[in-house]
Amino acid sequence: MTHHGLPITLCSAILCVVFAATAGAQNDDLMYDFEYLNFDADRLVSDLGGWPERLSGNVHIWVEPTDPNQQPLHLWADEVRFLGEGPQDELRVVLERDVRVEFTQQGMAVTVTAGEGEIDMARSIVVFTGDPVVTSDMGEMSGPRIELDMETGRLRAEQPRVRNLRLTEIREREEPAPEPEERGPVLRSEDVLDWEGLIAAIQTAAEDDTPSPARRIYDVLQPQAQQYVTGISPDQLPPEVREGILEQINNVLTERELYDPEAWADVSMPGEAEDLLDRPRDELSAPDVVRLNRLLLHAAFPDKIARPS
């Protein structure tokens, strides 16, 4: 078996796949600082300068971050091919057979398995095919094709199958949430009149910085929840995904600073909401905050979210 340590020049081609899988790549907290890329393989084909063209047979690629608080990044495949002779950003890396990526990010262990994978550096896209599965502490997602945008950190899946989704597990540690009976009215599954339209509105707003209620909801969501909302197909929402998203939206309803005047500038407010907005926000009780936010959601999406009782 061949063992090598290579300079950082290969890291962007191979291991960017692990930088963005749990949140946006623009977040500096996600970047790994390391100097060498290591690999084991049964066979190596390279040019005279040592640049690998093909690794095959029990390929294991890994890096040891210089930060001792960060965990190593690991990638396995039966074969790895490096395609392209132009600039680094035109390189394509093909991962073949028994592909597996393991890493830890923000304290969460993440594993990606697939039959094949391809990294397109020109588009900053990683595509997993061959029954890919993403597993983490949040749950499991699978589908015939899973695509990772390395620049935005968004995960897109065709015909996604999600199991055991637990969005509340990834919320930042905050003050304990009030008990349900103290929170006032919450959003129930039957209160969402148009699931497809609601998710599509949030996905569209995620691509547009213009202030709007949908954009404000997206901004308040935690990064991992943003990924799930923007990565799913609005017309394919199994019950377990709806329940997970609903739970996250109910967490948004407890946010005291959800309301933004610019976001709701073009929305006609009901009198009860205006009365609550006239009061100092820090003087509102927890049930009042939830009530206000519930009214704001209905005012913004009257054809998608039912009026609160």
pLDDT in tens, 157-175: 777 777 776 655 444 434 4
3-state secondary structure of 127: strand
- pLDDT score recorded for residue 105: 62
**pLDDT of 96 higher than 80:** yes
- At 34 the pLDDT is 56
Instruction: Mark residue 58 as left, alpha or beta (left: phi above 0; alpha: psi -120 to 50; beta: remaining).
Output: left
**Mean predicted lDDT score pLDDT of the chain:** 76
Rounded to whole angstroms, how far apart are CA atoms 301 and 309?
A: 16
Rounded CA separation 175/255 (Å): 12
Place of tokens 């008990």: 179
Structural domains for the chain: 2-164 (2.60.450.10), 169-300 (no CATH)
Helix (H) or strand (E) holding 86: none
Note the pLDDT tens digit of each residue in 190-244: 899 999 999 999 999 999 889 999 999 999 887 777 877 888 887 777 887 788 8
pLDDT of 230: 82
Cα end-to-end distance, the chain, whole Å? 68
- Between CA 242 and CA 168 the distance in angstroms is 14
- Token pair listed for 77: 């495949």
Kindly give the interhelix angle for 239-252 and 213-220, rounded to the nearest 10 degrees.
Answer: 90
pTM of the model: 0.48
Tokens of 119: 């990294």
